[in-house]
A and B are shown apart, each in its own frame.
Chain A
């Protein structure tokens, strides 16, 4: 046993380090986030699955989303979300290398990009509602607002959580290579981006 030979004054094993026993080889926060994300997979599958089934079984002609929705502004929003994923992963890399100014800069970029996404979605909703396209506008309306609404809610939660993490970063809480918190919130953020990639295709393009 290697641990038995450790001197009594050796630093105690920190729970956040890789490969403690019984956590599938990753630290506890990361495992917890992944377990949560797999349940989120089933949540969004229920929404997307319902959409596919309702659309497939629809007795009336389904409207062409590329004509009835604003594809240009949504494509721009998709691009913004992808960019925010890159800035998030850059923040993670900065945290790993203990580059504090890089960490703050990239986290801030991610928060701003995420907030921009929510803002653009808000404008999109306002325009659509103004045109008379509401959650009561048939199956297309209700499924559209249910799916994009729940996704937007996830992004909003992500922005709030990310703002909190950024605040902590400015207080130096992730100094000294403590990257675990950044990686864990990053997993959530990338997942929200991943869901949008699927939603954008299914709701807006097909």
Chain B
């Protein structure tokens, strides 16, 4: 039956991770104990971690056929290239 397409992950656990990671972001951003470069790296790392949790578990990408996942991921390198290519204009 189509309804049993995949098992449900523990959504409440994912919610808990997201809440804790958001708390961690606030601590890192507001206490400002890290040097600027490390602070930015840590915050981007935490944001990508949270985004991955949402995409993999809430949007079920972890359970989709690989060919769909590849189709969806394909534009992401292009998005990065777009930003990096224009950023070079300002490289100091």
Interface size on A, residues (CB 8 A): 53
Interface size on B, residues (CB 8 A): 50
Known interface pairs A24-B71, A53-B89, A66-B30; A41-B76 also in contact (CB < 8 Å): yes
- A-B CB pair tally, cutoff 8 Å: 132
Which label, helix, strand, loop or mixed, suits the secondary structure of the B interface?
Answer: helix
| Contact between chains at A177 and B51 (CB < 8 Å) | no
Q: How far is the CA of A38 from the CA of B4 in the complex (A)?
A: 26
Known interface pairs A41-B79, A83-B15, A177-B3; A53-B87 also in contact (CB < 8 Å): yes
| Contact between chains at A86 and B11 (CB < 8 Å) | yes
| Contact between chains at A52 and B8 (CB < 8 Å) | no
Minimum CB distance partner of B50 in chain A: A197
Q: How far is the CA of A93 from the CA of B10 in the complex (A)?
A: 11
**Which of B15, B28, B39, B75 is close to A42, meaning CB atoms less than 8 Å apart?**
B75
Q: Which residues of A contact B5 (CB under 8 A)?
A: 18, 96
**Residue A133 is within 8 A (CB to CB) of chain B in the complex:** no
Q: Which residues of B contact A200 (CB under 8 A)?
A: 25, 47
| Contact between chains at B68 and A193 (CB < 8 Å) | no
Minimum CB distance partner of A33 in chain B: B59
Mark each residue of chain B from 1 to 25: 1 if its CB lies under 8 Å from any CB of chain A, else 0. Answer: 1111100100110110011001001
